[in-house]
Chains A and B, each alone.
Chain A
Amino acid sequence: MAGRLVMRGIALAYLGVLLAVPVGMVMVKTFEPGPVAVWQAVTTPAALHAFWLTLLVTAVAVPLNAVFGVLAALVLVRGRSRLRPVLDVMVDLPFAVSPVVVGLAMILVYGRDGWLGGWLADAGIRIIFSVPGIVIATMFVCLPFVAREVVPVLREIGTEQEQAASTLGASGWQTFWRVTLPAIRWGLAYGVVLSTARAVGEFGAVSIVSGKISGQTETLTLLVEKRYTNFDMAGAYAASALLAVIALATLGLMALLQRRKDTA
């Protein structure tokens, strides 16, 4: 009994020092100058633009990754291709590669002197230092989440429900929409929430490919960094608080989904 209390104490202290105290401090610091100053700091044109840009990037990257993630999971669990092990490793690549390296790699491919860069410039398409680059970088770093959440669920449900559907006359498409997708829905939703959290908070890769042009390619995380390096501490805290609010909302959603997933 006493041993269990000690264990619990150590775990809570660990989490407190590592997570709760620093995040709490940001909140405290944010509101030190008073609510009016905070409101002003998060409603400057640059801050508003950064906020909407972050939401836009997330809104494009996450659904695309959700579709890709479900397809990848289907291939990983049901596919018979010999390329399956390759895909398996590829899906995990973003976990292993540092986001900064992802950013640099993108410059090498899409940059002005990059592999596709010249061709893209001729076609009038701009990727680096513009929103498409931010979206691609964000998609890269969020890639594994949906697939990794859906794969175990697909394994668990097996193929019998789908086989039953086919003997009952359902086409492949009908089987996917009516049987497979509802069966994986909680895993998929959880993967989407994780991707969203990651997309909103992405810094490294985006910082390299965006060019950090205020009011154009500056996301919330980049704004925090800029204000911090410009010694605008109050502004940095306020922008951080905005990020934290988005994070808390996703966290709440995550807890809710986790419960549904466990009971489903």
Chain B
Amino acid sequence: MISVTGVSKRYGDFQALDEVSVHVTPGALTALLGPSGSGKSTLLRIIAGLEVPDAGTVTLAGEDVTHVSPRHRGVGFVFQHYAAFTHMTVRQNVAFGLTVRKEPREKAAATVDRLLDVVGLTGFQHRYPHQLSGGQRQRMALARALAVEPSVLLLDEPFGALDRNVRNELRAWLRRLHDEVHVTTILVTHDQEEAMELADSLVVLNHGRVEQVGGPRELYDAPASDFVMRFLGPVTETPRGLVRPHELVVSAVPEPDATEAQVARIVHLGFEVRAEMESGDGSRITAQLPRAEADALELEPGQIVYVRAPHAPRPAEPDTEEDLVRV
């Protein structure tokens, strides 16, 4: 169990964290999600011991480690830019934690062999980091962090410096790895898709405060604030609040509670179509609907349509039953 309680951190005039409390379930993969400057990386670095909070406590497995050096915390840390030891081979990098702990040579060699196999770098063990691709370097960094059998694995935007294909591949790979190894993992990311895909639990941060904690589905279905709603996906503003574009119902004929709007632009997204519209009062409405539905409506720019939101706008009281009836 990792507990962060009432942690605050200032850098000069900037309040990076403001009385943040987070409790992480053992064995789970938790994502700290937020925009840049939200304090997510600072929180991760405080858990690792790379930063000391101005106030509050950090406990790992029931032990207060707030002022314990990172080397005695038993955490594995993976940096966005790999932090590879450039003058060491892949093998020496992975073995580093075992070498400085003076592990017996044969035992260390066996551990390193096993981890190189896990991350798929066995054939690259005598190369230097500059001879590896970004994705390979990050897998090496993961193996290096796992070698010391950390009680928690901390990943600071681990895929942020990689291009999209490699990122998606590594994401899937990390999820499989986590399901095999089951080490408690905290991942910092600003990418909501990455957080949703990987994490069992999400902590959404904004301006140094926790906005909401919950599972991916829970957060998507019942965001606690406009901020969470906006951060987790595209939104359209309606007079009653925020809705998701795909939840809007577009109709060619007037309907009760529907707003009249003029189609400004149609964007084909493959399976779905995005209709950008403008209502009578000048506000913009974006709806996303299946292609068949759009074809049936024969949507085209200039057309007048009627838009309504069958769901109650969120975030609101989770009293949605009544509103759903109208569909």
Q: Using a CB–CB distance below 8 Å, which chain A residues touch chain B?
A: 157, 160-161, 163-171, 174, 178-179, 182-183, 185
Contact = CB atoms under 8 A, between A and B. Distances in A.
B56 interface: no
Given A169-B100, A169-B101, A170-B96, A164 B83 contact: yes
Contacts of B83: 160-161, 163-164
Contacts of B141: 164
Contact of A160 (B73, B81, B144): B81
A168 B79 contact: no
Given A160-B83, A164-B83, A167-B48, A174 B75 contact: no
A168 B144 contact: yes
Contacts, number: 65
A92 to B, nearest CB: 29
A170 B70 CA distance: 9
A233 to B, nearest CB: 51
A178 B87 CA distance: 10
A164 B145 CA distance: 9
B165 interface: no
Nearest to B100: A170
Given A163-B77, A166-B69, A167-B71, 10 more contacts: A157-B86, A160-B81, A161-B83, A161-B86, A164-B83, A165-B100, A166-B70, A167-B145, A168-B144, A170-B96
A179 B71 contact: no
A164 B79 contact: yes
A interface SS class: helix
A174 to B, nearest CB: 5
B180 to A, nearest CB: 22
B85 interface: yes
Contact of A183 (B50, B86, B147): B86
Contact of B97 (A163, A169, A183): A169
A141 B108 CA distance: 48
Nearest to B75: A167
6 contacts: A160-B81, A165-B96, A165-B100, A166-B70, A169-B100, A179-B85
A169 B79 contact: no
Interface string B43-57: 000001110000000
B76 interface: yes
B174 interface: no
B148 interface: yes
CB-CB nearest 9 A-B residue pairs = A168-B97, A160-B83, A164-B83, A167-B77, A170-B100, A182-B87, A166-B70, A167-B70, A169-B71
A261 to B, nearest CB: 13
Given A168-B96, A168-B97, A168-B144, A163 B70 contact: yes
Contacts of A161: 83-86
Nearest to B130: A264
A165 B96 CA distance: 8
A209 B145 CA distance: 56
Contacts of A174: 100
A183 B87 contact: yes
B50 A163 contact: yes
A161 B141 CA distance: 11
B100 A178 contact: yes
A188 to B, nearest CB: 13
Nearest to A181: B87
A19 B260 CA distance: 85
Q: Which of B75, B85, B147 has the most CB of A within 10 A?
A: B85
A171 B71 contact: yes
Q: Which of A163, A167, A174, A178 has the most CB of B within 10 A?
A: A167
Contacts of B148: 168-169
Contacts of A167: 48-50, 70-71, 73, 75-77, 145
Contacts of B75: 167
Interface string B74-118: 011101010111110000000011011100000000000000000
Contacts of B48: 167
Contact of B71 (A160, A166, A178): A166
A163 B147 CA distance: 16
A169 B83 CA distance: 15
B85 A170 contact: no
B114 to A, nearest CB: 17
Contacts of B76: 167
B60 to A, nearest CB: 13
A160 B145 CA distance: 14
Contacts of B71: 166-171
A160 B78 CA distance: 10
A15 B80 CA distance: 47
